[in-house]
Amino acid sequence: MTVKLLLNVNGKEVEADIDPRTLLVQFLRENLRLTGTHVGCDTGQCGACTIHLNGQAVKSCNILALQAQGSEVLTIEGLAAANGDMHPMQVAFKECHGLQCGFCTPGMVMSATALLKENPKPSEEQIRAGLDGNMCRCTGYQNIVKAVQTCAARS
């Protein structure tokens, strides 16, 4: 049995017939081939699958695709400008060396952009709290925090 799913993903209307058990992260990666949204733990612990759903940072491994019916979804692929220029947060991550292996980076960037949308000038403590739930096994977080601070200072 399949059901019809209608979404707006990265500014484009998407329609698909899917198994009702399909997770949003599976739909993004397997159906739409938007593989920047990573699958890290399948339990919502690592944050690698973080996307924006109707403007809120959410972990897409914890949501059935059908729960997002009619919603606006923004993935890391949709964050850059239409001309291909990187989002200011992506630039800050690059400049501040806020990544090493890069596996957590899309989720971190998506969480960080949502944080600055809600709080444009967060303290270091607020940044660390805002990134809670996103795990990085490489960087020790200091350069990630520095990247968020840099992006906030520029806006």
Query: Is the domain of 68 the same as that of 28?
Result: yes
Task: Identify the band that residue 124 occupies on the pLDDT scale cut at 50, 70 and 90.
Answer: very high
125 and 150 co-located in one domain = yes
Do the beta carbons of residue 148 and residue 92 sit within 8 Å?
A: yes
Q: What is the DSSP letter of 23?
A: B
Q: Identify the burial level of 68 via C-beta atoms within 10 angstroms of its C-beta, where 0-12 means exposed, 13-18 middle and 19 or more buried.
A: buried
DSSP-derived secondary structure letter, 49: T
| Host domain of residue 134 | 88-154
- H or E segment to which residue 137 belongs: none
More confident residue, 33 or 139: 33
**83 inside domain:** no
Q: Taking 80 as the threshold, does the pLDDT of residue 28 lie above it?
A: yes
- In the chain, the percentage of residues whose pLDDT exceeds 70 is 100
Give the pLDDT score at 154: 95
Taking the C-alpha atoms of residue 7 and residue 135, their distance in angstroms, rounded to an integer, is 28
Res 41 pLDDT > 90? no
Domain end position, chosen among 45, 78, 111? 78
For residue 23, the Cα-to-chain-centroid distance in whole angstroms is 15
Q: Among 42, 57, 78, which residue terminates a domain?
A: 78
Q: Are residues 95 and 141 in the same domain?
A: yes
> Whole-angstrom Cα distance, residue 152 to residue 155?
5
- The per-residue pLDDT for range 56-103, each reduced to its tens digit, is 999 999 999 999 999 999 999 999 999 999 999 999 999 999 998 889
Q: 22 pLDDT exceeds 90?
A: yes
Verify that 47 and 103 share a domain, yes or no: no
* Exposure class string for 23-46: b at 16+ Cβ within 10 A, else e: bbbbbbbebbebebbbbbeeebeb
DSSP string for 11-51 = TEEEEEEE-TT-BHHHIIIIIS--TTS--S-SSSSS-TTEE
State pLDDT tens for residues 101-118: 889 999 999 999 999 999
Residue 140 predicted with pLDDT over 80: no
Give the residue carrying structure tokens 């606006």.
Answer: 72
Token pair 């990573």: residue:
38
Domain total of the chain: 2
